[in-house]
Structure 1
Amino acid sequence: MTHVSARRGAFYASMAATAWGTGGAAGSLLFQTGQFGPVGVSLWRHLLGAAFLLLIVRRLVLADHLDWRVLPVGAGMAVYQTAYFAAIAHSGVAVATVVTMGATPVLTAVGSRLFLRERLTRGALLALAAALAGLVLLTVEPALATSATPAASPVLGVAFALASATGYAGVTLVSRRHKDRDPRTTAIGGFAVAAVCLAPFALADGVVPELSWPSLALLVYLGAVPTALAYGLYFVALTVLRATTVAIISLGEAVGAALLGVALLGERLTPLAWTGCALLLAAVTVLAVRADAG
């Protein structure tokens, strides 16, 4: 495995967050076709992500490299994606996003201190506070609007969002704990395990619906960019950066998703939301520029 510098690791984490920010739009467009449910999209996302990485790593002999450590990674992937979609169903996108993304770096920071003995520096603590403040400003108005409308169960939605954040933090902590492993192997094995976990639930919705060219293109994009590319970069970043640092940088996904909504989906951001974008982006940028290897 080629060693990368802390600065390059921070760049990889930023690129992963940017790629993840496009995944929500692609998933939403797939849902609108009526051919896929959330679990079906997640299943194909993991299967295609594994396939694309295997094409890149053609000489990798999985039997010689995979071990039990990909099991918690894959299970965590399945949990946090499925729980996130369940949170959206019960409390709306805004609440699900702010709780999941807000709780993830906090849980990661606590877990990295308890289980990895990683020290949270003053700069990282300030960056975390600024990033969380920016995330709240970016999503507070949509969240309030969502809470004013009937939902299946807002409390249950928050519980699912916290479960999603726990799964996400778990994937980050396990991957960081075993940073000596090839990150490509971790990603491929994690995708495969996640697909196996999701397959029984996806069968109920129909795993192989009738495809159109637009939906096929969206699936290929979802598997290639927000999955294979993003997770590949993310796991590489975890080999050189502290778990909390990577988790905070990943909050840049919220900014990318918001800007994509404005540019392509006709959404509008209020001055408060723009302020949140700027604060969140500033926190992530400062942390990325000053990244130290852990």
Structure 2
Amino acid sequence: MVSTEPKPSGGVGGAARDRHFVTGVLPILVAALLWGSSGTAASFAPEGASALSVGAANMGIGGLVLLAVAGRSVLPVLRGGARTWRTVLAGAVAVAVYPLAFYTSMDLTGIATGTVVTVGSTPVFTKLCEVIGERALPHGRWMGASAVSTVGVALVVVGQRHPDESPHGTGQIVAGVALGLLAGASYAVYSYTAGRLIRQGASSRPVMGVMFGLGGLLLIPVLVVTGGPLFSTRTGLVVAGYLALVPMALAYFLFGRGLTHVTASTAATLILIEPVAAAVLSVAVAGEHLAPLGWAGIVLVGVGLLILDNRK
């Protein structure tokens, strides 16, 4: 039973909440902010570089970096038996699918739309994974936080202007939205499987190292076939290096640490700040315009995150 007596902010309850924020919520928020920079960074890739090559470089090289950083700590996970391997392989396949679908979705529909469809659909797909795998039904506070934040994300997109972009064809938009949904589902699968292994007692670093390392290996053939234009210029090398090391290796290291202390569905709602970061960067770096409606959406996303962080 939960006590109804008020607790002083400096007491045990306050300390526990602070620890929950610092160790669980904050790393995931920082990871989402770093992910939000990926679309702007990718826009600096050489003109001939394909979305497939950018995505493969991001998760392929970055996944191998995570595996290298994990080092020998991955051995207990590798020796975890058939059940562990089934979980790892499901996550690794999702890791490989995600960047190919996500970057192609942004290429077909635009950075804002591709990001919003992917990130906006992720909480629903992640909760579906938890319902199927854990019989964990959604609670009211999560549903409210997700609804408020998702509306905010939609307003960010509506309020974002792209005056220099030509309209995308209907067929491209439909295909891009479908790929964005596939990317959202892929994110949900690998975040859920990683969180499940961590909750079963594995450390976050080896779990993320094995899962993303195997996913990276699956992406290397794609990178070999498509990566020529990306790696042919210094700018392309810088873009590939940034995407692999910052919004991939560093961000997913932080994400794994956060998953040690929060559920996958909570993490999926927290990352709704990613398209907000992407929109702000597009204004600050790419010179795009965000209307007042978009800034109102940013406020709503923040409100949703506060609702989620204050859950009981």
Q: Into which bin does the TM-score normalised by the smaller protein fall?
A: 0.7 to 0.9
Check if 1:237 corresponds to 2:252.
no
Greater mean alpha carbon deviation, residues 267-276 or residues 45-54: 45-54
Contact 1:187 1:231 (C-alpha < 8 Å) held by counterparts: yes
Evaluate the alpha carbon distance shift between residue 212 and residue 156 of structure 1 in structure 2; reply closer, same or farther with a 3 A threshold.
Answer: closer
- 5+ residue gaps, structure 1, are none
Letter in 1 for 2:77: H
The secondary structure found in structure 1 opposite 2:289 is coil
Asked whether the 8 Å contact 1:89–1:152 carries over to 2, the reply is no
Percent identity over the alignment is: 29
Change beyond 3 A, Cα 1:260–1:100:
same
Pairwise mapping of residues 18-33 of structure 1 onto structure 2 (< 5 A)? 18-30=33-45, 33=46
- 1:134, CA displacement in angstroms? 0.3
The reply on whether 1:10 has 2:25 as its aligned counterpart is yes
What TM-score do the two structures reach when normalised by structure 1? 0.85
Pick from 242, 258, 269: which aligns with 1:248?
269
Distance 1:230 1:272 in 2: 29
**Counterpart Cα distance in 2 of 1:92 and 1:258:** 12
Among 247, 250, 263, the alignment partner of 2:284 is: 263
> What does residue range 71-82 of structure 1 map to in structure 2 within 5 Å?
71-82=89-100
Paired residues, number: 285
Call closer, same or farther: CA 1:210–1:140 in 2, change over 3 Å.
Answer: closer
Among 230, 235, 238, the alignment partner of 1:214 is 235
**Map of 1:203 onto structure 2:** 224
Q: TM-score, normalised by structure 2?
A: 0.80
Q: Post-superposition shift, 1:220?
A: 2.3
Structure of larger gyration radius: 2
Give the distance between the partners of 2:282 and 2:29, measured in 1 at CA. Answer: 19
Q: RMSD value over aligned CA atoms?
A: 2.8
Superposed, 1:118-267 pairs within 5 Å as 118-140=136-158, 149-179=168-198, 180-206=201-227, 210-267=231-288
Q: Are the counterparts in 1 of residues 64 and 216 from structure 2 also a CA contact under 8 Å?
A: no
Question: Which has the larger displacement, 94-103 or 171-180?
Answer: 94-103
Which ranges in structure 2 are unaligned for 5 or more consecutive residues? 1-17
Equivalent positions of 1:57-68 (< 5 A) are 57=70, 60-66=72-78, 68=85
Query: Which deviates more, 232-241 or 143-152?
Result: 143-152
**Structure 2 equivalent of residue 48 of structure 1:** 61
SS at match of 1:169: helix
